[in-house]
Chain A
Amino acid sequence: MIKCDRLGKRYGRRWLFRNVDLEVQPGEVLIIGGRNGSGKSTMLKVMAGVLPATEGTVFRGKDHRLDLGYAALDQPVYPVLTVAEHLELSAELRGCAPRTDELLEEVELAYAKEAAGRHLSTGMRARLKLALAIQAEPAAILLDEPGAGLDERGRGVLHRLIESRRERTAFVIATNEQLERQYATHELDLDS
């Protein structure tokens, strides 16, 4: 579960969003839409805890490292660490099983297990970030433009991943893609 209470983010004098109250329970999918620059990605970053909120609070579970997964299109990975090393590092820091082979099979990236981050294509990086987001099987998963950069097979991976977890996981997805919007149980339009 993820819950925001009067959440707001301001850059300079401009509020990207303000007074956002929301709660997403397992089994629910919140789709955040809006034009480019409307603050979709920033809202997810604030919800994930990688950007501080200007005002308001976010409840991310007892331990955000284990209870929250986050994958964003613009999130880089370590250029010199391999795909397997990313999963091992994340598992050691969060305190969960690495499940390297299992996760790489699921996101269809097993063939690049020993490839360094700098040698991954955009789509391969997106698959690695999906694997990292689901590694601890968190109660809430935040996905920022998850379909961008993925080919047809990659989109298949993404949809199987959402489909197989939607009953027990709260999803918040920032996207304007129709394919991901089909899962919406709730929608938030930042343009309105």
Chain B
Amino acid sequence: MNSSNANMLRTNSTWTHEIGAVVRKEFRTELRSKSATYTSFMLSGVTVFTLAFAFYGRELTSEAAAGMLWAALLFAGVGTLTRAFVAEEEQGTGDLLRMWARPHAVYWGKFLFAAAQMALTAAMVALLFLMLTGVGVKELPMLAATLLGGSIALAGMVTLVSALISRGNNRSTLAGVVALPLLVPLVALGVSALRNALDGFSISTGWMGCLGVWLYTIVVLAGAPFQFAAVWGEI
């Protein structure tokens, strides 16, 4: 085979093709190992049940409920999604991705899988939390939009954090330390939106909070792939 024949082996690779390949790899790996699913269910389930038992028989204010729901989401999200790159580095397969894939394809592929996983976790956590605590929802579309936006933002940010910490020592502590300051604006906006979605006290303030969550999501997704590309080869 000469060099022109070698060129014939090359196909027209597109971003969607490459991102799709990473997403399929993530789903295949998860369907077979189920490690993230079990971790996510365990972390979110334990948090929600603990909170529900702690407040059993007492009426929860919408402020406290919104804060607790976000705490449960953060706990499950940071605990599960940071595995994205940590698992690759622990099993030594991160080098395969470095050699085969462009950094943006790796980030978007990992992010899309994480976003799907987080959205599912958020829906489950919210449903379980509302059922066990008996808190009512006045603005269901606001609740859904905030949880969806929050899940996407969490996935986008934590995927980046996971890449940053993947080769460090004491990764679980590092994940919290690095992620927490970056997630403070999201939590502040998200709590405001959820509080108003639960009690319906100020609809406009609630929607402003929800809009803020989505703007945060846009900022994260506009910047994180470039930051990831800058550090991916240096990790």
Q: Chain A interface (Cβ within 8 Å of chain B)?
A: 45, 48-50, 52, 64-66, 68, 70, 74-81, 85, 89-97, 99, 135-139, 168
Contact = CB atoms under 8 A, between A and B. Distances in A.
Contacts of B92: 74-76
Contact of B9 (A64, A70, A97): A97
Contact of A49 (B11, B18, B99): B99
Contacts of A45: 95
B28 A85 contact: yes
Given A64-B99, A137-B6, A80 B29 contact: yes
Interface string B93-127: 10111111110010000000000000000000000
A79 B91 contact: yes
CB-based closest 6 A-B pairs: A95-B13, A92-B21, A137-B6, A76-B92, A50-B95, A93-B100
B173 interface: no
Contact of B100 (A52, A89, A137): A89
A68 to B, nearest CB: 8
21 contacts: A49-B99, A64-B99, A65-B102, A68-B99, A74-B92, A75-B95, A76-B91, A77-B93, A77-B96, A78-B25, A78-B96, A80-B28, A80-B29, A80-B32, A89-B25, A91-B11, A92-B21, A93-B18, A94-B100, A96-B11, A136-B6
Interface in B9-39: 9-13, 17-18, 20-22, 24-25, 28-29, 32-33
A75 B93 CA distance: 8
B170 interface: no
Contact of A65 (B6, B9, B20, B99): B99
B5 interface: yes
Contacts of A52: 233-234
Contact of B22 (A93, A136, A137): A93
B184 interface: no
Contacts, number: 92
A78 to B, nearest CB: 5
A34 B12 CA distance: 41
Contact of A137 (B9, B91, B97): B9
Main secondary structure of the interface of B (DSSP, over half): helix
Nearest to A94: B100
Contacts of A65: 99-102
Contacts of A50: 95, 98-99
A62 B56 CA distance: 64
Nearest to A117: B93
B83 to A, nearest CB: 14
A70 B95 CA distance: 10
A18 to B, nearest CB: 19
Contacts of A80: 28-29, 32-33
Contacts of A93: 13, 18, 21-22, 97, 100-101, 105
Contacts of A136: 6, 9-10
Given A79-B91, A139-B3, 14 more contacts: A49-B99, A49-B233, A65-B100, A78-B29, A78-B96, A80-B33, A81-B29, A93-B105, A95-B18, A97-B11, A99-B9, A136-B6, A136-B9, A139-B6
